[in-house]
Amino acid sequence: MKRRVLISVSLLAMGMFLLGTATVAMAGHEIVGAPKCKMCHKKDKTGNQWGKWLESKHAKAYETLGTDEAKKIATDKGLGDPQKEAACLKCHTTTGALGADVVVAAAGKYEITEGVGCEACHGAGSAYKKKKIMKDPEAAKAAGLVMNKSAEFCTKCHNDESPTFKSFDFEKQWAEIAHAVPE
């Protein structure tokens, strides 16, 4: 009985989370994978967002689910392998963050092992990935680029639903991952 309640609560929370991510997973847009973003966002003159992401916990979010600690937490919660559980993947992977309806581009480079990649926060990139579009911020936004810089967005994952949550200071943690394009 306790396990059924836990599963029901987890599924309800996941459904609520997925409804909240609808603004990021735009209909008809496909995930292309962080390596596609790397092509233009790895140089210092453009802000080296790729390098900043690689150094972040977001890039290692899926890997974290393979640790002994994550496996113990999952077992204690009555879950299976955390690298396969929707309750864990929703915040530890790009596809999980974007929701069940998101499509991975056949020609993309997306791998679940990338963790929380660029598109988890910026929206599936198939329509805005071209350099010509990205050079025009308004065209990129019209094509699906999302610029989420808000505590409300981040706390969809960084909240006390997570079994390892301690606290979340948006301003401090935003400064740790900030990756602006230089003027």
Tell me the pLDDT tens digit for each residue of 127-167.
999 999 999 999 999 999 999 889 999 999 999 999 999 99
Residue 15 binned pLDDT confidence (cut-offs 50, 70, 90): very low
Residue 106 within a domain:
yes
Residue 2 within a domain:
no
Alpha-helical runs (H) found in the chain = 2-20, 34-41, 49-54, 61-64, 68-76, 86-92, 94-98, 118-122, 131-134, 137-142, 151-154, 170-177
Does 93 score more than 80 pLDDT? yes
Q: What is the pTM of this model?
A: 0.81
Residue 26 binned pLDDT confidence (cut-offs 50, 70, 90): low
Residue 165 within a domain:
yes
Domain span including residue 142: 20-177
Residue 6 within a domain:
no
- Beta strand 30-31 with 103-104 is parallel
| Greater pLDDT, 162 or 21 | 162
Residue 163 within a domain:
yes
Q: Residue 27 has what pLDDT?
A: 65
Helix (H) or strand (E) run with residue 31 in it:
strand 30-31
Share of the chain above pLDDT 90, in %: 73
Residue 10 within a domain:
no
CA distance linking residue 110 with residue 124, whole number of Å? 11
Residue 7 binned pLDDT confidence (cut-offs 50, 70, 90): very low
CA distance linking residue 175 with residue 177, whole number of Å? 6
Q: Residue 2 has what pLDDT?
A: 47
What average pLDDT does range 85-113 have in this prediction? 90
- How many domains in the chain? 1
Residue 110 within a domain:
yes
Residue 14 within a domain:
no
